[in-house]
Amino acid sequence: MNEFIPELIGGTLIGLAASLLWLGIGRISGMTGVLSSLFLLREKQRYWALWFLAGLVLAYPLYLALGYSAAIVVTNNTLLLGSAGLLVGFGTYIGNGCTSGHGVCGMGRLSLRSAVATVTFMVAGVATVAVMNLAGGIL
Amino acid sequence: MNARLLGPLVALASGLIFGLGLLISGMNNPAKVRAFLDVFAAWDPSLIAVMGSAIPVFALFFYFSKRRKTPFCATAFHEPKLTRIDLRLLAGALLFGIGWGLVGLCPGPALVNLLAFEPGVLIFVLALLAGNRIAHWLVGPVR
């Protein structure tokens, strides 16, 4: 159980951050919405997303400055990275959300729509990793 | 301090705390995410604890927010209005899940890793933005 403590602390912080944004300014902390907002900055009501994004991006240097380290182990296969990015960008746009908007906030709001989306992308993710293993581990 | 000043500060703090949560939990690490999705082989279930704590914490505050007419530093709650479970939602979640499984990155962790200047993450983020725009051109504005 002890090995889950960083995950529980991290998850609690994510939940608190989403709550702060909701109770503070009434916005859902969904990364897909934040991304789309970058292209909608002629709308003043989207400005909050820039501030949120600034905080998100600054978390990494802050974390390092505090003396911690965070592993980032990722494939160096450009084709794989490019296709994954396109699929995630396209899919989250048409599905209106990702792990944060549907997975944390939508599930927390007890939205059936978000629950269906979350189960769908989880199953798709598990299936993709399983198929890649069968195909001989491209990663 | 007035709401016009507090609003941006709230968003900045929320993003910062969200990012720290992703980093502390290890959710930012693609290898860990892929191990979490690797249910049939080398499964690392620990990321269940991230969702398992983030969701109830948000659910609790969301429930209490129902007692308020407005947020503390803005004029209205913007709750998503879509409730329909349609093909667009399912197709989107399916494509997202496939991309997520391919390298283990979803939008939040990809963005939080941005200033690590890891080439793989940068390529992913560029493709992520391109995918978002391609969808915008093909299917129309944000709903």
The whole-angstrom separation of Cα A25 and Cα B68 is 12
- Cβ–Cβ contact A20 with B under 8 A: yes
Test B62 with A22 for CB contact under 8 angstroms. Answer: yes
Distance CA A12, CA B55 (A): 8
* pLDDT for A1 beyond 60: no
Task: Give per-residue pLDDT as tens, B104-131.
Answer: 999 999 999 999 999 999 999 999 999 9
pLDDT at res. A3: 76
CA gap B124, B129 in Å, rounded: 9
Contact flag B102-A56 (C-beta cutoff 8 Å): no
Q: What is the band of A136 on the pLDDT scale with cuts at 50, 70, 90? A: confident
Q: Tell me whether residues A7 and B112 touch, CB distance under 8 A.
A: no
Say which amino acid occupies B15.
G
Nearest to A25 among B74, B105, B113 (CB): B74
Contacts A73 to B, Cβ<8 Å: 29-32
Instruction: Return the domain boundaries, chain A.
Output: 2-134
Contact B7, B15 (CB under 8 A): no
Interface of A with B in 56-115 (CB under 8 A): 56-63, 68, 70-76, 78, 80-96, 98-113
Rounded to two decimals, the ipTM of the complex is: 0.96
Return the structure tokens found at B142.
């944000």
Is pLDDT larger for residue B143 or for residue B22?
A: B22
Q: Which helix (H) or strand (E) holds A121?
A: helix A112-134
Which residue intervals of chain B are DSSP H helices?
3-25, 30-37, 48-65, 87-103, 107-112, 119-139
Say whether residue A41 is in contact with chain B using an 8 A CB cutoff: no
Residue B116: phi and psi, rounded to 5, are -80, -15
CA–CA dist A111, A115 (Å, integer): 6
Residue A101 and residue A21: Cα distance in Å, rounded? 12
**H helix or E strand, kind and range, residue B56:** helix B48-65
Task: Assess B5–A contact: CB distance below 8 Å, yes or no.
Answer: no
Averaged over A35-41, what is the pLDDT? 95
Q: pTM of the prediction?
A: 0.96
pLDDT, tens digit, 9 for 90 and up, residues A83-99: 999 999 999 999 999 99
Nearest one of A45, A24, A115, A103 to B65, comparing CA atoms: A24
Q: Where are the domains of chain B?
A: 1-79, 84-143
Per-residue pLDDT band for B4 (boundaries 50, 70, 90) equals confident
Please answer yes or no on whether B90 and A87 come within 8 Å at the CB atom: no
Nearest-CA distance B137 → chain A (Å): 10
Q: H-helix or E-strand containing A58?
A: helix A47-65
